[in-house]
């Protein structure tokens, strides 16, 4: 059985790859490797998520579970005057995200390795809040892991901040929508395509 990407230190033999794609009208080139999520192409769920995002007015976004970087780097290119925070449990993915930031000439990113919001503990301890958390969550890690990420996102979002997540319809998107409603008080589906749903929840002011 292939090693799962939701691991801190993948032991898969390196098998580097590279592809180029268009995201939100801009061209990106990504280096990838074995042991990371969707290494051969930008997966349709992440594509639907990033293409659906509303970024006007966003000042402190986090790509939670950034993988090799496509979502966070697309946000960073669209918000050149803002720092975009990116983190992932997978060390190999984080290293690739940093490589891909340089490869695409993007320098307004802060990329860290770690589980959930742990990489940002020092920042958050100083009172910092994100105003956008974007995630293609690790569903195979289990529902409780995903729900904990959602609860932590609520804690670390500023009032009026939003969580955007993409989930396969067949992997419980409607159930997760109900869970988000319970955590945030309100949530909605904002896009559906190719078996994926983008969910958005906003923290009350």
Q: Could you report the per-residue pLDDT of 78-133, keeping only the tens digit for each?
A: 999 999 999 999 999 999 999 999 999 999 999 999 999 999 999 999 999 999 99
Look at residue 9 in the predicted model and tell me its pLDDT. 67
CATH number at residue 115: 3.40.50.150
Q: Is the dihedral of CA 109, 113, 116, 120 positive or negative?
A: negative
Residue 68 phi, psi (nearest 5): -85, 5
Percent of the chain, pLDDT > 90? Answer: 87
Instruction: Measure Cα distances from 103 to 65, 81, 116, 131, 183 in Å.
Output: 20, 19, 26, 27, 38
In a domain, 121, yes or no: yes
For residues 62 and 130, give the distance between their C-alpha atoms in angstroms, rounded to a whole number.
7
> For residue 21, is it within any domain?
yes
- pTM for the model stands at 0.94
Q: Does residue 2 lie within any of the structural domains?
A: no
pLDDT at position 120: 98
The DSSP element (H or E) to which 163 belongs, if any, is strand 157-168
- Residue labelled with tokens 């292939």: 2
Is residue 66 assigned to a domain? yes
Q: What is the pLDDT of residue 2?
A: 37
Q: What are the start-end ranges of the H helices in the chain?
A: 44-52, 70-78, 91-103, 121-125, 143-156, 173-184
Distance CA 122, CA 66 (A): 19
Give domain status of residue 175, yes or no: yes
The answer to whether residue 122 is domain-embedded is yes
Q: What is the pLDDT of residue 4?
A: 47
Residue with tokens 């720092």: 83
126 found inside a domain: yes
For the chain, what is the domain count?
1
Which residues constitute the domain of residue 181?
17-202
pLDDT at 128: 98
Within-domain flag for 34: yes
Task: Give the residues of the chain that fall short of pLDDT 50.
Answer: 1-4
């Amino acid at each position: 059985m292939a090693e799962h990407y939701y691991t801190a230190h993948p032991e898969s033999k390196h098998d580097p790859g590279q592809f180029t794609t268009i995201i939100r009208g801009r061209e990106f080139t990504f280096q990838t490797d074995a042991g990371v999520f969707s290494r051969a192409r930008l997966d349709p769920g992440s594509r639907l998520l990033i293409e659906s995002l509303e970024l006007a007015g966003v000042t402190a976004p986090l790509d939670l579970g950034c993988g090799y970087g496509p979502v966070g780097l697309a946000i960073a290119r669209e918000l050149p005057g803002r720092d975009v925070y990116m983190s992932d449990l997978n060390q190999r993915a984080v290293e690739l995200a940093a490589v891909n930031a340089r490869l695409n000439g993007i320098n307004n990113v802060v990329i860290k390795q770690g589980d959930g919001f742990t990489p940002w503990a020092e920042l958050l301890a100083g009172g910092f809040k994100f105003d956008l958390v974007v995630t293609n969550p690790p569903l195979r890690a289990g529902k409780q892991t995903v729900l904990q990420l959602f609860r932590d996102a609520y804690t670390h979002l500023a009032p009026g901040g939003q969580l955007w997540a993409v989930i396969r319809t067949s992997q419980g998107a409607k159930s997760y929508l109900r869970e988000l409603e319970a955590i945030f008080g309100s949530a909605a589906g904002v896009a559906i395509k190719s078996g994926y749903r983008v969910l958005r929840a906003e923290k009350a002011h």
